[in-house]
Amino acid sequence: MKIKIIVAVLVILILCLGVAVYANNNTKTSKVLFFSEVEQEDRNVTKSNMPKKTIINGAEEVQLEYKESKYDNDIYVSNKKDEYIYKNDNLIGFIKKVDDEINVTRMNSESAQEIANTFLQENIDESDKYELTSSNYITSYAEYSFVYNNKLNGIDTNDTVKINVNNNGEVVSFSNFNQGVFEKFSGVKVNMEIIEKEIIDSIKNKYGKDYVDSEIIYSFFNIVNDKLVLQVNVSIEVANQVSSSVLDTIIYELNWLYN
């Protein structure tokens, strides 16, 4: 039997150096740091005396044993090795064991999406706030993957719902680790044109004469160390490097907008 492993991560880790840009409200200057220098709180723990949980799966009563905790999320496992993820006793995700022999006869993509949409509506509060942002078929697992995003003022956030549906029409994994965490920032307005200019200027300053060009690939709101940030992935063309292209991650802190 093989088991897919979900890692509940609140920050996207890129295997390269990153830059953190921090904005100051009064001076409008930015402090540039390597991403690796941005201290992250260690929230991986093992709790003691955690009670068992019982869930209903169809007509079956399933007992869950506590396994570990990551990023404030408690992970439980069933006797079938399915993993269930809880936050404050609320189920925010699960991943079911995958058999070696799986149904590779691909089901209709529209039917798979309808199953995912129904699961979203039945299990997520205010599901109408989430819009489908990506869908693809994972050949190695013979599953469809659907990602829904709860945007903040038109910009993607890390409040996503991920639902995987196999060719038997079963939801085999689901996650929604950050449901509603950005609602308190609904009044925050950002000028992307100004922010992108500051980011590009900082990149030029970092790479100096080796800088050739850069392109912002993707931006989204995230929470880092309990602070609202704009996380930006940038592709940078540089000279005199082993590779002519570098991928950098920039964290642009926005707490000065709401404090």
Buried b (16+ CB within 10 A) or exposed e, 48-62: eeeeebeeeeeeeeb
Q: What is the pLDDT of residue 44?
A: 65
Q: What is the pTM of this model?
A: 0.77
C-beta neighbour count of 166 within 10 angstroms: 21
Task: Give the range among 43-47, 105-109, 209-213 with minimum mean pLDDT.
Answer: 43-47
Percent of the chain beyond pLDDT 90? Answer: 45
Beta bridge partners of 40: none
**6-53, pLDDT tens digit by residue?**
333 323 332 222 333 333 333 344 434 445 455 555 566 778 788 889
Distance CA 102, CA 98 (A): 8
Range of 38-42, 197-201, 225-229 with top mean pLDDT: 197-201
Beta bridge partners of 221: 157, 230
Percent of the chain beyond pLDDT 70? Answer: 79
| Mean pLDDT, rounded, for 134-160 | 95
